[in-house]
Amino acid sequence: MDKFALITGSSSGLGLEISKYLVNCGYTVFGGSRSGTDFEHENFYDVELDLTSEESVQEFFETIREFTPTLSLVINNAGICEMTPFGETSLQQFEAHLAVNTVGPFILFKHLEAFLIKHETHIISILSTAAQYGYPNVSAYNASKFGQLGMLLSLKKEWKDYKIRFTNMFPGAIDTPLWDKMGTKFSRDKMLKVHEFMSVLGFVVSAPPNIQFAELTFLHREGFLE
């Protein structure tokens, strides 16, 4: 039986690695991103997606519907993060984080419901420890991730009759190209490596269907990055 998966933020970094992993696991994957990717595979569909636009999200799901009416797996991964002291954070920056990290998933899930498979669909959200723990110099990111978590906890209760799984993952800092643009001096040696993150994700994706990981926090053994 064909298995269909959706992932947001598939163009690079974790999203790209997750997409590669899923097609190797036998999924047909619909990857949504604004910039697209060079990754090519017969079971990977690179679809334009702007989470801040409801019209774009609707068109994304219309494309998916051409191939399947249902989704077994949803990876809510897309997001933005900028480091700026609170006093220097502009209203535009703050609103941009909310638009992508909080409002974007709201729009996505709003149009996802029709694709749910009762007792089967698994929704995995890559949230970050910033949804649980206040870090300095990322107030906009913290607020957007805390907001997304609150929405997910509410949604899980509203969709309880579907008997589907929600896994909220809270990884610590991960050594990806994102940090090249952050202008910080954090040691990469104190960050999780991508393959380490993928080992945890693979465990979650492949776990027996009766196992639910309500909250899964994991980070480098050195602890929180500050």
Give the alpha-carbon dihedral of 135, 139, 142, 144, to 10 degrees: -170
* DSSP code at position 187: -
Distance (Å, whole) CA 53 – CA 60: 11
**pLDDT mean over 204-221:** 92
Task: Report pLDDT digits (tens) over 186-199.
Answer: 667 788 899 999 99
- pLDDT value for 226: 64
Read off the tokens for 9.
């933020």
Could you tell me what percent of the chain has a pLDDT over 70? 93
**pLDDT mean over 91-103:** 98
**pLDDT mean over 63-67:** 98
Domain boundaries, the chain: 3-218
* DSSP code at position 80: -
pLDDT > 80? residue 184 = no
| Residue 67: band (very low, low, confident or very high) from pLDDT cuts 50, 70, 90 | very high
Which secondary-structure segment (H or E) carries 108? helix 104-112
| Residue 64: band (very low, low, confident or very high) from pLDDT cuts 50, 70, 90 | very high
Q: Which CATH class is domain 3-218?
A: alpha beta
- pLDDT value for 203: 96
Global pTM reads 0.94
* Average pLDDT value over all residues in the chain: 93
Which secondary-structure segment (H or E) carries 45? strand 44-48
Is residue 98 within 8 A of residue 50, CB to CB? The reply is no
Is residue 221 within 8 A of residue 89, CB to CB? The reply is no
Beta-strand pair 122-126/3-8? unpaired
Lowest mean pLDDT among 120-124, 177-181, 185-189, 193-197: 177-181
User: Kindly report the CA angle at 9 between 52 and 89, in degrees rounded to 5?
Assistant: 55
Q: Which residues contact 225 (CB under 8 A, 6 or more apart)?
A: 135, 172, 173, 186, 190, 191, 219
Task: Report pLDDT digits (tens) over 133-163.
Answer: 999 999 999 999 999 999 999 999 999 999 9
**pLDDT mean over 81-97:** 95
Query: Which of 122, 8, 121, 110 has the alpha carbon at shortest distance from 54?
Result: 110
Task: Report pLDDT digits (tens) over 7-16.
Answer: 999 998 999 9
Is residue 33 within 8 A of residue 11, CB to CB? The reply is yes
Task: Report pLDDT digits (tens) over 24-57.
Answer: 999 999 999 999 999 999 999 999 999 999 999 9
